[in-house]
Amino acid sequence: MLALNAMPVTPPRGLSEKVPLAGLSTLNIGGPARYYVRGESAEAVAEAARWASEHELPLLVLGGGSNLVVSDDGFPGLVLHVLVRGVHAAPSDGSVEVTAGAGEPWDPLVERAVAEGWAGVECLSGIPGLVGATPMQNVGAYGQDVSETIVRVRVLDLRTGAVSDLTREECRFGYRDSRFKREDRGRFVILAVTYRLRPGGAPAVRYADLERHLPAQGGAGPSLADVRRAVIDVRRRKSMVIDPGDPNRRSVGSFFMNPVVSAAEAERIEAAVHRDGTLAANDRMPAYPAADGRTKLSAAWLIERAGLRRGYRRGNAGISTNHTLAIVNCGGATAQEVVGLAREIRDRVRDRFGLTLVPEPVFVNLEL
């Protein structure tokens, strides 16, 4: 429960009741919020948080809704939609520091960085959602993580009511993880993020999947714009960009994280799939170096080898026809159908490989 030290407050401006949440989620699933308010400034966010604390209401902080699975029953407290806007760029020791409000759409910010020639986020093109989610999830794609560029995160501490800046080190980033998701889940509301980008820097091309989609350069390396176009093209082919005409559009993107295991565990799994003939003797299981000598495996590959294919359906929820990692609302799906499919995927991978996949999205008022 919140413990903001402030005098009692009147209801926040713009407070609404029984607001459907399905339309505020890219999965297009979810019941109503008991209360809902838009926080378009730091002051409005703090005011709404104080009101929720005073009335002992659970608080759900909402951004772009691209990483949420909301219960069919909705949310029994206050949904605070953080929509703080504004972008400011300033030179800093040969770099440029870009500070963006948590409510700024993420991809237009990446588009601007690429147009300005600022390297550091080009591989994160086409990702839906808002700026405020990027440090929360340590958003990453194609070998590039947002934590590589984050300098500081401005937060409202719900325990004290204080607004302060956390450094990159204080955010304690991990693979698709941070203190905001882990030990301090629910403590902070992210208000703004500052990124340090490299004017004239070379783009990051670390994945063969991305390199294959880049045009031949004749000796010159690809530009930031080339990489952005290639990333968006790859994501579109996998239904990982929001396209109104795509039947796979209602999703939260990758539903499970790629598991990071010890080198010995990776060798065990590869040996097992060689023994049972799943993998030919001369073939290798997809695996990538990770921190501390560990190995990152492909969750999509594991799901497919557990017998689940693209297009598989369970009621009105299904696996995307373009990407095994995406669970989609095929039309009229309930949260329970999505969770049921996610459990089946998790359990079949665990039974087949002895690994338990970890979901990426946040579950609101329900459990996997």
Residues marked active site are found at 176, 254, 360
Query: Rounded distance, CA 170 to CA 7, Å?
Result: 30
Helix, strand, or coil (residue 5):
coil
Instruction: Tell whether the torsion through CA atoms of 183, 57, 340 and 362 is positive or negative.
Output: negative
Which residues, 6 or more positions from 257, have their beta carbon under 8 angstroms from its beta carbon?
Answer: 175, 176, 299, 357, 358, 359, 360
Q: Which of 3, 91, 96, 109 is nearest to 50 (CA)?
A: 3
Helix, strand, or coil (residue 139):
coil
DSSP string of 169-194, one letter each residue: HHH--BTTB-TTTTTTTTTEEEEEEE
Query: Rounded distance, CA 283 to CA 286, Å?
Result: 9
Helix, strand, or coil (residue 125):
coil
Would you give the distance in Å from CA 204 to the centre of its chain?
20
